[in-house]
Amino acid sequence: MRFVSTTGRSEEVSFFEAMRSGLAPDGGLYMPKEIPDLSSLFRDLPMDMDFKQIAFELSRPFLHGELEEHVIRSVSNDAFNFPLSLKRIVPGIHVLELFHGPTLAFKDFGARFMARLFSEKASKEGQKVTILVATSGDTGSAVANGFYNVEGVDVCILYPKGKVSPLQEKQMTTLGGNITAIEIDGVFDDCQRLVKKAFVDPELSRMMNLSSANSINIARLLPQSFYYVYAFNELKKTGITDLVFSVPSGNFGNLTGGLLAKIMGMHVKHFLAATNRNDVVPGFLRGDKFTPKPSIQTISNAMDVGDPSNFVRMQHLYNHSDEALRNDVKGYSYTDESTRETIRDVYERTGYLMCPHTAIGYRAAAEYRSSTSNRFESVVLATAHPVKFRDVIEPVINQSIEIPVQLEESLQSDKKSIPLSAEYNDFKALLLAGR
């Protein structure tokens, strides 16, 4: 399969070329030249098909000709060696728990899959790659864990100082080895700007083999379509076929993965783009012009994005038809007060505890159901374990949250990070010094 830039001004490339580059030379994001039609696969999915098999079947068309099928299967089996769970919380609303991986966040899916593909590529070509990652929260910890000690790969993680949770910071700054954490004096959008600028810097391109593990990378995006199909198949077993997916959204890679699954042929009634006060995309979906804004700090920090990179991919999937995109996706945005209220209300009524991001997705699903006569079943993507935001949640429910065993080691380890300004020249000098 060939991949093209969303701007249309770069040459077509292979999957591995797109993965290595991260960003196209013209500054666009890579997308499949043609979306495979898998409608017959979705229609005939065996009831007993597990997630690893779904991942293999969906990734095979994209990797055809670049990896042998037994390698694709091995990558899927190794990357997704943890469970996911679909739970019915109240009538009509289900939660798809995507936080049972090693860093307790949905980003483990993309990071682990991508790390294993980079490992395959490095073993074939014998070249060292430097991965640059901007994170507003869980991406950093997932990438750090997924790429830790992967041969031929160094990772630089940029995160905004004081704007990620203490646990998230520990998870990405305590590994060392081939993982370098850089603490930027700014906001997430500054981190993302530095990474994007590095990719189009001719001098860095000559001197370093750069790539990205953010959701701008097609290899991170692809596996984010897999779990939509898993939820679809699980509910199909019970006779439910009309679904609405409510997606907590920041950089919009997660939602783009769902839209990709739909365009490949999965039956979905609607998607809900659920955000915090950073509501650029919900504003667009209500009819406004898409206008990036400075990000606003909230308690759902992984969604504090004022200029979401994957919006161009959403437009690309819909051939730049705003009307078609708005027909499939509805936007919702909520304040911190509403988020806390939802966490408290759902916990008191059902005993189910959710992180601030999941709570925003849940509130959007509940609002959608109450505002429409179409009683479609809703699936909320639960993006992170509540313990990762215990400093926010514990005062809301007036209870302590037990820390899972796998997080204790991170909390007790020493932080290793490099403080840096948000100036590009400082970042470039740091990269060149570490060559």
- Mean pLDDT in consecutive groups of 10 residues from the start of the chain, 435 residues: 94 93 89 96 90 97 94 95 96 96 91 89 75 84 88 90 86 91 94 91 89 84 96 94 95 96 96 97 96 93 92 97 97 98 98 98 96 88 93 95 80 89 96 82
SS3 for the chain is CCEEECCCCCCCECHHHHHHHCECCCCCEEEECCCCCCHHHHHCCCCCCCHHHHHHHHHHHHHCCCCCHHHHHHHHHHHCCCCCEEEEEECCEEEEECCCCCCCECHHHHHHHHHHHHHHHHHHHCCCEEEEEECCCHHHHHHHHHHCCCCCEEEEEEEECCCCCHHHHHHHHCCCCCEEEEEECCCHHHHHHHHHHHHCCHHHHHHCCEEECCCCCHHHHHHHHHHHHHHHHHHHCCCCCCEEEEEECCCCHHHHHHHHHHHHCCCCCEEEEEECCCCHHHHHHCCCCCCCCCCCCCCCHHHCCCCCCCHHHHHHHCCCCHHHHHHHEEEEECCHHHHHHHHHHHHHHHCCCCCHHHHHHHHHHHHHHHHCCCCCEEEEEECECHHHHHHHHHHHHCCCCCCCHHHHHHHHCCCCEEEECCCHHHHHHHHHHCC
CA dihedral sign of residues 284, 290, 291, 292: positive
Q: Is residue 424 part of a domain?
A: no
How many other CB atoms sit within 10 Å of the CB of residue 423?
14
Give the pLDDT confidence score for residue 31 in this predicted structure: 97
* Domain-embedded: residue 90: yes
Q: Which domain holds residue 272?
A: 81-104+221-397
Within-domain flag for 74? no
Q: Out of 33, 107, 128, 330, which one is annotated catalytic?
A: 107
Whether 122 is covered by a domain: the verdict is no
Tally the domains of the chain.
1
The answer to the question of residue 241 being in a domain is yes
Structure confidence at residue 210 (pLDDT): 87
Q: Does residue 279 lie within any of the structural domains?
A: yes
Phi first, then psi: give them for residue 243, nearest 5 degrees.
-120, 150
Residue 242 within a domain:
yes
272 found inside a domain: yes
In this prediction, residue 141 carries a pLDDT of 85
- For residue 107, indicate whether it is catalytic: yes
Looking at residue 365, its pLDDT comes to: 97
What's the CATH number where 349 sits? 3.40.50.1100
